Amino acid sequence: RRAGPAGAGLDSGLRLAQLLAIQFVTMPPPQAVDAATASATKAIERYVHALVNDSNIVQGAAILPLAPVETTPTKKSIVLVQKGVALRAHEASAILERMLAGTLHRDYVYASGSQYMVTSVQPHSVYGRLTSMQTDGGIIVVKTNRLLVVATYVEPALPAEAIPQVERFAEQLVSIDF
């Protein structure tokens, strides 16, 4: 028996409907995805709060997702979470793009309106010092599997105190699959 064009259309339409049904069944509903994202964001907020408040070393921290995030009228920045630092949208975008491209060390890093000079580059981290003559301080940028951690510190904290603390924080994020 030979299928004509109408039969071919029916068969391909049926296959498409089956594929869509399979994808619909296997994909969680949008509310579940939003709830999971909100839960993950709350967990990260707790970690950032602990990093900044539980010590007198880290002054501020911001978390940026490595995957692109769409901005909306209510969310104008790509910053996922920040505490103690006011990372502007253009600063966050520049840090993220340059870190992913491996060029963050080639120029000054700007965060919260301050300028930092990169002093050390590691495979997954970049460290810099504040260029202001008014105070000493620095910036630490660490890339995990899915996030970018940007942390700042000011005197009396020293790089030898701040860097290990932020690196441990990034390791904790990696251990919970971030």
Helix (H, G, I), strand (E, B) or coil at 111: strand
Section 98-120 average pLDDT: 95
Maximum alpha-carbon separation in the chain: 87
Range from 35-49, 80-94, 95-109, 137-151 carrying the lowest mean pLDDT: 35-49
Q: Determine the pLDDT at residue 69.
A: 62
Helix (H, G, I), strand (E, B) or coil at 48: helix
Among 102, 106, 109, residue whose Cα is nearest residue 125: 102
Please report which helix (H) or strand (E) contains residue 137, including its range: strand 137-143
Percent of the chain with pLDDT over 70: 74
pLDDT above 80 (res 70)? no
Residues 6+ apart with CB under 8 A from 154: 59, 130, 135, 136, 137
pLDDT tens-digit series, residues 138-178: 999 999 999 999 999 999 999 999 999 999 999 998 998 88
What average pLDDT does the chain have?
80
Give the helix ranges, DSSP H, for 54-115.
89-101
Question: Is-contact 119 125, C-beta < 8 A?
Answer: no
The Cα–Cα gap between 140 and 109 comes to 10
Residues 6+ apart with CB under 8 A from 159: 127, 129, 138, 153
pLDDT tens-digit series, residues 24-33: 333 344 344 4
Looking at residue 33, its amino acid is V
Please report which helix (H) or strand (E) contains residue 76, including its range: none
